[in-house]
Structure 1
Amino acid sequence: MKLLNYSVIAFALIVFPTCSQAQNMDNDSIDKKYTIQNCVNHFNGSSVVKTKVGYQYWFADKDFLDGRTLKMSVVKPHEATHAPHKHPEDEFFFVLEGTAEFYLDGQTVVSGPYTSFYCPSNVEHGIKNVGDTELKYLVIKKYEKK
């Protein structure tokens, strides 16, 4: 499973800067002190957010940096978290385990682990579990500040 760990780390580093880089990126984060304690988030089962079809775990929520988030979604076999939709933010999905059907602007593709899907802003998209085991994927997204 070392491949998985390195793939996830490499993918996240492309989208997210290091903590020291992030401190200099926006005025809100200048006041925040980043330490090894708040820059490391080990999965904690007691902090999952239940959904109708599984659960979500936020490794970095909207308040950690400047709206950039990292979330893991886990979906039961043959289910979807929600129907295809669109929103102003673009986002990435990165499949960790299972079989996902990715929908983008009227087309679909089915893929397994170590696959990323990009969702451009304001384009209808969705992801669902089309396999017989749990689907686990990362969602990387930046929410605009309000």
Structure 2
Amino acid sequence: MKRISAFLVVALALNTAFFAQNNSNKELTMEQCVNTLNVENSQSTKVGYQYWFADKEFLDGRTLKLSVVEPHKATHEPHKHEEDEFFFVLEGTAEFFLNGETVVAGPYTSFYCPPNSLHGIRNVGDTELKYLVIKKYNLSDK
């Protein structure tokens, strides 16, 4: 668990660094800046659950989400959107799809999805797949 916590801190730092160009000037409290995984507050999906450490309302559309996917399943089919996106594998075995190509990788691997690229991630292992999703939503699309 300590290893996961350390990587969550790194991921949040990356999230801030990659998307700093739209930095908010709002003042935040310590309580707003610290978010510890609480599975009871997670959202169930058809294939597991997700937990938002930072949702798009928190800070200018920048997000950090944990996705947990059951063995041999995917949250959805490959898709595309205008925002770029990072996946960071914490546990399990992921198959990453990008524009017709695939690669299989394990923990401590990042995958980058450029804007408007056809991409997806699925669990190809026999254990849960846990990965972080780092993305900045375009809030003008609300």
Query: Gaps (5+ residues) in structure 2?
Result: none
- Alpha-carbon distance in structure 1 between the residues aligned to 2:100 and 2:80: 12
Tell me, yes or no, if structure 1 residue 108 matches structure 2 residue 92: no
1:62-94: CA deviation from partner (whole Å, max 9, x where unpaired): 000000000000000000000000000000000
Q: 1:54 corresponds to which residue?
A: 48
The 2-side partners of 1:96 and 1:9 are apart by 13
Change in CA separation of 1:84 and 1:99 when aligned onto 2, cut-off 3 Å: same
1:96 aligns with: 90
1:137 equivalent among 113, 131, 140:
131
Distance, in Å, in 2 between the alignment partners of 1:41 and 1:12 is: 11
Moved over 4 A (4+): 1-4
Q: Distance in 1 between matches of 2:69 and 2:14?
A: 25
* Higher fraction of strand: 2
Task: Give aligned pairs, total.
Answer: 138
Alpha carbons of 1:125 and 1:25: their partners in 2 closer, same or farther (altered >3 Å)? closer
C-alpha distance in 1 between matches for 2:100 and 2:43? 30
Cα distance change, pair 43–11 in 1 and its aligned pair in 2 (3 A)? closer
Query: 1:142 & 1:120 partners in 2: Cα distance?
Result: 12
Which residue of the partner structure matches residue 30 of structure 2? Answer: 36
Distance, in Å, in 1 between the alignment partners of 2:75 and 2:60 is 25
**How far off its partner does 1:58 sit?**
0.1
Q: Per-residue deviation at 1:53?
A: 0.3
1:13-64 per-residue CA deviation (whole Å, 9 max, x = no partner) reads 12315xxxx7x954xx33x321111100011111101000000000000000
How far off is 1:3 after superposition? 4.8
> Which residue of structure 1 lines up, in the alignment, with residue 16 of structure 2?
16
Aligned to 1:76: 70
Alignment partners' CA distance in 1, 2:68 and 2:134: 14
Q: Equivalent of 2:118, from 114, 124, 127?
A: 124
